[in-house]
């Protein structure tokens, strides 16, 4: 989250597993086969999702759904804020690593 908020795409992309799949709440699927796909498309697509008023994102909470020695599945909630600290949107999603 710190890399996203700082606009540090190199550090942000270092946190992604590739191939990377993003499934939106509307059912749209984005597939990034390589790091190069992320570098070419992710920031532009994020900006389209977050909107022009987006300033930063806060991870509100995480809940472990399943974990093992080498894998974890989480349910997370995050909120996007504008530059004045006003909330723009709150989202929830499962994720795995």
Q: Token digits for 2?
A: 């710190």
User: What local confidence, expressed as pLDDT, does residue 27 receive?
Assistant: 84
d(CA 84, CA 36): 34
Q: State whether 42 and 24 are in the same domain.
A: yes
Q: What is the pTM of this model?
A: 0.85
CA 79 remoteness from chain centre: 11
Q: Tell whether the model's pLDDT for residue 96 goes beyond 80.
A: no
Q: State whether 46 and 71 are in the same domain.
A: no
d(CA 36, CA 10): 11
Q: Which of 92, 84, 82 shows the shortest CA–CA distance to 52?
A: 82
Q: State whether 91 and 58 are in the same domain.
A: yes
Per-residue model confidence as pLDDT tens digits over 48-93: 999 999 999 999 999 999 999 989 999 999 999 999 999 999 999 9
Tell me the sheet residues that pair with 81. 56, 87
Per-residue model confidence as pLDDT tens digits over 25-44: 788 899 999 999 999 999 99
| Average pLDDT score over the chain | 94
Number of domains in the chain: 2
């Amino acid at each position: 989250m710190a890399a996203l908020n700082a606009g540090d795409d190199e550090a942000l992309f270092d946190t992604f597993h590739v191939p990377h799949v993003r499934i939106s709440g509307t059912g749209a699927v984005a597939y990034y086969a390589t790091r190069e796909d992320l570098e070419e498309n992710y920031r532009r697509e994020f900006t389209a999702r977050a909107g022009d008023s987006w300033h930063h994102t806060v991870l509100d909470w995480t809940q472990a759904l399943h974990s093992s020695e080498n894998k974890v599945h989480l349910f997370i909630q995050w909120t996007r804020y504008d530059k004045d600290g006003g909330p723009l949107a709150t989202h929830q999603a499962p994720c795995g690593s």
